[in-house]
């Protein structure tokens, strides 16, 4: 039960989220074009893993091939949720000085941007994920490529755990996205920072290669980084590679990182605003 | 051949102007080139991790894969550096800029190639060269002058293939005003595909990249010939030396489609 006062305090952020979400849902043609490319990528990646698994002489690999296939499709479906870019509108706003309007609003800027990031990380996923999942679950078997498909969740518990971990993943992804926004307050040449961040995200979240396939010595470290919580852990709960019993630990790591990233973001924003230079024009 | 000489001279001027303008923002150019280097280097780390785990793929080992990987990275980096005008073509059509291009007494292709020589692609080029260097150092390639020529020739023919695909993508803007993103499946997807030998893929997929978009002809077959391995697909050795010629042939076909597109062009009027 939310206190009525709290609800009205949250109203502007909810309104921003709703408006951005509905606006982003309009980009259906772009989503469709991107969808075809992502399907092609998913297929190529799975073909490569398929060839590796067929060549493998080891008795057991750390992950079964069908789990890898599901993992790849989940990664493609959730691609737009990963905090690997800053949308062009935001960049234009920082460059043109439009950020001055953001600063003059009677809202908490961090929460305002968090709501913006939340829309940015959900609406495109909604647009792309549904057709992608239909293709990967139903289309592939119809094409006679059933072994490459996205399988159903490992169990009911895995499905519920996946849904919970997805919420945690979104919380981390949005907190990380806001950090990238804040980078633009500090420097107008934040493209370099964003590039480094997007490399880290694609490499360490499991988008480029499923994290369980990394060398054993790297896997513990990877698990404790914030990026694993964004894609790897939800996908592994889905495929049953992480037992449902470990869900609490996964969620705890996600929420812990969300808290750390939010605290860091608030600090950097407050300090950045003291020295911000608004671009004229 | 004064026409061709003149065209090359003009392209040289375009390129020089473009490089000069990019060097006005030196820090930014260096930063983005370093960023590209970082991204592409992380891609190779992923490949390395897979070999660390699996050891080999259909009998191919990492130094051999590095040859294919380096070849296609260098090829794509060079194509991407010269093809910015085609990459950006939807914008050129929408803004009406293409009207101006048509008015000038030079070919549209030359003018679009001259739009920009994108320096930041240097990052991918350096990474591709480094991976290729690793392939040379760690593999056992028996170098002959012929093989060195084949290496350079297949990069040149590979640029033709990718340029053709980018041109088709741009040409789609003549009909739809948008440059269709679907084509990225064949450029970026083709690059990812070409990092591994064609032999590991399914027959229908191989056929697509041999007969329709001949990326396999400019990387896989010459790569096998340079490595001096028998082709697991059963092609005789001579194929490795002739297949790259599919690149210029493909480009010639794409140029025909481009010309049809130009004839079909109607200004957006803005």
**What does the DSSP assignment read for B120-168?**
GGHHHHHHHHHHHHHHHHHS-----HHHHHHHHHHHHHHHHHHHHHHHH
Q: What is the pLDDT of residue B270?
A: 55
Q: What is the pLDDT of residue B101?
A: 92
Q: What is the pLDDT of residue B119?
A: 84
Kindly determine whether residue B52 and residue A44, on different chains, have CB atoms separated by under 8 Å. no
Chain B residue with Cα closest to A39: B185
Kindly determine whether residue B200 and residue A198, on different chains, have CB atoms separated by under 8 Å. no
Q: What is the pLDDT of residue A191?
A: 76
Kindly determine whether residue B180 and residue A33, on different chains, have CB atoms separated by under 8 Å. yes
Q: Which of B26, B42, B186 best probes binding to A when mutated, by most A CB atoms within 10 angstroms?
A: B42
Kindly determine whether residue B185 and residue A45, on different chains, have CB atoms separated by under 8 Å. no
On chain A, the residues whose CB falls within 8 A of the CB of B54 are: 52-53, 55-56, 58, 61
Partner residue opposite B42 with nearest CB, options A44, A54, A208: A208
What band does B251 get if pLDDT is binned at 50, 70 and 90? very high
Task: Return d(Cα A99, Cα A95) in angstroms, integer.
Answer: 8
Residues of chain A with pLDDT under 50: 1
Q: Which of A29, A32, A48, A145 best probes binding to B when mutated, by most B CB atoms within 10 angstroms?
A: A48
Beta pairing partners, B57: B60
On chain B, the residues whose CB falls within 8 A of the CB of A48 are: 50, 57, 196, 200
Task: Return d(Cα B13, Cα B262) in angstroms, integer.
Answer: 25
pLDDT(B63) > 70: yes
Per the rule left: phi > 0, alpha: psi between -120 and 50, beta: everything else, B90 is alpha
Partner residue opposite A55 with nearest CB, options B52, B57, B193: B57
Kindly determine whether residue A191 and residue B42, on different chains, have CB atoms separated by under 8 Å. no
Chain A residue with Cα closest to B60: A55
Kindly determine whether residue A44 and residue B200, on different chains, have CB atoms separated by under 8 Å. no
Kindly determine whether residue B38 and residue A199, on different chains, have CB atoms separated by under 8 Å. yes
The whole-model pTM stands at 0.91
On chain B, the residues whose CB falls within 8 A of the CB of A34 are: 181
Report the pLDDT averaged over residues B101-122. 89
Q: Tell me: the pLDDT tens digits for B232-247? A: 999 998 999 999 999 9
Q: What is the pLDDT of residue B2?
A: 63
Task: Return d(Cα B171, Cα B265) in angstroms, integer.
Answer: 10
On chain A, the residues whose CB falls within 8 A of the CB of B196 are: 48, 51
> How many CB atoms are closer than 10 A to CB A66?
16
Maximum average pLDDT range among A91-100, A269-278, B35-44, B59-68: B59-68
Residue A112 contacts B, CB cutoff 8 Å: no
On chain B, the residues whose CB falls within 8 A of the CB of A209 are: 46, 49-50
pLDDT(B189) > 70: yes
- d(CA A270, nearest CA chain B) in Å: 27
* Total CB pairs under 8 A between chain A and B: 99
Average pLDDT in chain B? 91
Chain B residue with Cα closest to A145: B202
What band does B96 get if pLDDT is binned at 50, 70 and 90? confident
Q: Tell me: the pLDDT tens digits for A179-228? A: 999 988 887 667 778 888 888 999 999 999 999 999 999 988 999 999 99
The size of chain A, in residues, is: 281
Chain B residue with Cα closest to A218: B49
Q: What percent of chain B has pLDDT over 90?
A: 67
Kindly determine whether residue B58 and residue A189, on different chains, have CB atoms separated by under 8 Å. no
Q: Tell me: the pLDDT tens digits for B112-162? A: 999 989 887 888 999 999 999 999 999 888 889 999 999 999 999 999 999
ipTM for the whole complex:
0.91
Kindly determine whether residue B182 and residue A33, on different chains, have CB atoms separated by under 8 Å. yes
Which among A3, A13, A8, A5 has a CA at the least distance from the CA of A108? Answer: A13
Task: Return d(Cα A1, Cα A15) in angstroms, integer.
Answer: 20
Q: What is the pLDDT of residue B176?
A: 78
On chain B, the residues whose CB falls within 8 A of the CB of A189 are: 27-28, 31
Q: What is the pLDDT of residue A2?
A: 53
Kindly determine whether residue A195 and residue B196, on different chains, have CB atoms separated by under 8 Å. no
Q: A57 with B55: CB under 8 angstroms?
A: yes
Classify residue A162 by burial, with Cβ atoms within 10 Å: 0-12, 13-18, 19+.
buried
Chain B residue with Cα closest to A36: B182
């Amino acid at each position: 039960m939310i206190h009525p006062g709290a609800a009205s305090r949250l109203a502007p952020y909810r309104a921003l989220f709703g408006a951005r979400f509905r606006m982003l849902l309009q980009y259906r043609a772009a989503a469709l074009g991107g969808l075809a490319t992502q399907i092609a990528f998913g297929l190529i990646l799975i073909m490569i893993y398929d060839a590796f698994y067929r060549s493998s002489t080891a008795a057991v690999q750390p992950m079964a091939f069908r789990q890898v296939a599901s993992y790849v499709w989940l990664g493609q479906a959730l691609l737009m949720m990963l905090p690997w870019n800053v949308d062009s509108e935001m960049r234009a706003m920082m460059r043109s000085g439009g950020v001055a309007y953001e600063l003059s609003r009677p809202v908490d800027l961090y929460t305002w941007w968090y709501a913006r990031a939340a829309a940015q990380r959900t609406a495109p996923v909604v647009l792309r994920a549904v057709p992608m999942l239909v293709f990967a679950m139903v289309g592939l078997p119809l094409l006679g490529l059933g072994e490459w498909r996205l399988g159903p969740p490992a169990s009911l518990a895995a499905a519920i755990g996946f849904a919970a971990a997805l919420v945690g993943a979104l919380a981390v992804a949005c907190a990380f996205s806001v950090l990238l926004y804040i980078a633009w307050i500090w420097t107008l040449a934040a493209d370099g920072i964003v590039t480094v961040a997007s490399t880290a995200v694609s490499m360490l979240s499991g988008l480029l290669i499923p994290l369980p396939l990394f060398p054993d010595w790297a896997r513990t470290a990877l698990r404790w980084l914030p990026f694993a919580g964004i894609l790897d852990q939800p996908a592994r709960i889905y495929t049953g590679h992480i037992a449902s019993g470990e869900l609490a630990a996964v969620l705890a790591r996600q929420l812990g990182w969300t808290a750390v990233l939010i605290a860091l973001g608030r600090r950097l924003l407050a300090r950045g605003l003291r020295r911000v230079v608004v671009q004229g024009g | 051949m004064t026409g061709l000489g003149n065209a090359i001279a003009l392209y040289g001027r375009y390129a020089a102007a473009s490089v000069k303008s990019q060097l006005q923002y030196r820090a930014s150019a260096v930063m983005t080139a370093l960023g590209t280097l970082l991204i592409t280097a992380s891609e190779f780390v992923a490949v390395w991790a897979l070999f660390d785990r699996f050891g080999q793929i259909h009998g191919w080992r990492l130094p051999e894969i590095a040859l294919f990987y380096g070849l296609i990275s260098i090829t794509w980096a060079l194509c991407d550096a010269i093809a910015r005008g085609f990459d950006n073509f939807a914008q050129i059509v929408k803004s009406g800029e293409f009207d101006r291009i048509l008015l000038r007494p030079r070919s549209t292709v030359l003018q679009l190639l001259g739009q920009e020589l994108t320096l930041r692609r240097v990052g991918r080029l350096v990474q591709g060269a480094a991976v290729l260097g690793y392939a040379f150092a760690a593999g056992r390639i028996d170098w002959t002058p012929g093989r060195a020529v084949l290496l350079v020739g297949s990069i040149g023919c590979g640029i033709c293939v990718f340029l053709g695909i980018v041109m088709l993508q741009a040409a789609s803007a003549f009909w739809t005003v948008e440059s269709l993103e679907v084509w990225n499946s064949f450029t970026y997807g083709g690059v990812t595909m070409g990092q591994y030998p064609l032999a590991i893929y399914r027959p229908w997929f191989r056929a697509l990249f041999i007969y329709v978009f001949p990326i396999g002809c400019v990387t896989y077959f010459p790569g096998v010939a340079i490595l001096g391995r028998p082709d697991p697909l059963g092609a005789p050795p001579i194929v490795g030396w002739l297949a790259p010629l599919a690149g210029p042939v493909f480009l010639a076909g794409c140029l025909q489609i481009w010309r049809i597109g130009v004839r079909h062009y109607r200004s957006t009027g803005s």
